[in-house]
Amino acid sequence: MTSETKSNIPVHVSLIMDGNGRWAKERGKERVFGHFEGVESVRACVEAAVEAGVRYLSLYAFSEENWNRPEAEVVALMGLMVKAMANEMESLNKNGVRFVVIGNRERLAPELNETIDSCMAMTADNQVLTLVVFLSYSGKWDILQAAKKMAAHMLACPEDVDEILDMDVNGFDKYLATAGIPDPDLIVRTSGECRLSNYLLWQGAYSELLFVDTLWPDFRKKEFHSAVEYYSKRDRRYGKVK
């Protein structure tokens, strides 16, 4: 593939993995079966992202609002995360994947936090793909925690106040939980819902959006490559005239 064609490959693809419950219901099964099957889709999309030359793949795995689901589903999802991380990490590491979790980690159980810490430490130097899992995350939470960090910085370092007040939007990026991760070029949501559900509100300002009817457990390599293909045909204008 020439570098010319490569330039239309998104650097950062983000997936809102929705529709697990409906996938299970269609089969007369408990919602949790959809979550289990969804792990297979994650594996397939990680492989497809590497094949496509995508450098950052991010996944909306659990929103701040998802804490309001029935306790049994939350417990099952959290258990599934620990298991999936433990099972997949060696292979991710072998394939050069850097694993990062972003979100309000204070709400996560200690066992999950320990697993996350060890997976992040093990894969920290990998460079083929950065896999970001947004867990206990919401866009409004992120913007608010960034504003609080900035206020704390001002109080701790009054000598920086002028610099902070002169700051542009790029300066604010460093306070966000996603600091160091490029904004998503493409956000794909599965299951036919056309909303962001409080995801990457700041970072998604100029993302291309794709809503597909496929339920997350059915979203595999073919669907991922189709999404990348869709992106490659978009004309991103950023408010300018071309």
Report the side by side order of strands in the sheet with 56-63: 97-102, 129-137, 56-63, 12-16, 186-189, 208-211
Catalytic residue among 18, 142, 183, 185: 18
Q: Is 139 in the site for ligand IPE (CB under 6 A)?
A: no
Distances from the Cα of 200 to the Cα of 58, 154, 168, 176, 205, angstroms: 11, 25, 19, 10, 8
Alpha-carbon distance 38 to 101, whole Å?
Answer: 18
Alpha-carbon distance 69 to 65, whole Å?
Answer: 8
Q: Is 18 in the site for ligand IPE (CB under 6 A)?
A: yes
- Restricted to residues 187-206, the positions that interact with ligand IPE (CB under 6 A) are 191, 193, 195, 197
Distances from the Cα of 131 to the Cα of 51, 104, 134, angstroms: 14, 17, 10
Question: Taking CB positions, which residue lies at the least distance from ligand IPE?
Answer: 21
User: Taking the CA atoms of the chain, what radius of gyration do you get in angstroms?
Assistant: 19
Indicate which of Mg ion, ligand IPE, none lies near residue 197 (CB less than 5 to 8 Å, by partner kind): ligand IPE
Q: Which is nearer to ligand IPE, 46 or 175 (CB)?
A: 46
Q: Is 219 in the site for ligand IPE (CB under 6 A)?
A: no
Report which DSSP code applies to 237.
-
Indicate which of Mg ion, ligand IPE, none lies near residue 63 (CB less than 5 to 8 Å, by partner kind): ligand IPE
Closest distance to ligand IPE from the beta carbon of 188 (Å): 11
Closest distance to Mg ion from the beta carbon of 28 (Å): 19
- Restricted to residues 6-35, the positions that interact with Mg ion (CB under 5 A) are 18
β-bridge pairing 129-137 and 56-63: parallel
Question: Taking CB positions, which residue lies at the least distance from Mg ion?
Answer: 18
**Which range, of 4-12, 13-21, 97-105, 153-161, touches ligand IPE by CB under 6 A?**
13-21
> In the structure encoding, which two tokens stand for residue 88, read together?
């997949």
| Angle formed at CA 93 by CA 15 and CA 55, multiple of 5 degrees | 40
User: Catalytic: 18?
Assistant: yes
Distances from the Cα of 220 to the Cα of 28, 54, 197, angstroms: 22, 16, 22
Q: Binding marks (x or -) toward ligand IPE, 60..89, rule CB under 6 A? A: xxxx--x----------x------------
Closest distance to ligand IPE from the beta carbon of 62 (Å): 5
Q: Which is nearer to Mg ion, 62 or 175 (CB)?
A: 62
β-bridge pairing 12-16 and 56-63: parallel
Q: Which residue numbers are catalytic?
A: 18, 66
User: Which residues of the shown chain bind Mg ion in the complex (CB under 5 A)?
Assistant: 18
User: Which residues of the shown chain bind ligand IPE in the complex (CB under 6 A)?
Assistant: 16-22, 60-63, 66, 77, 191, 193, 195, 197, 216
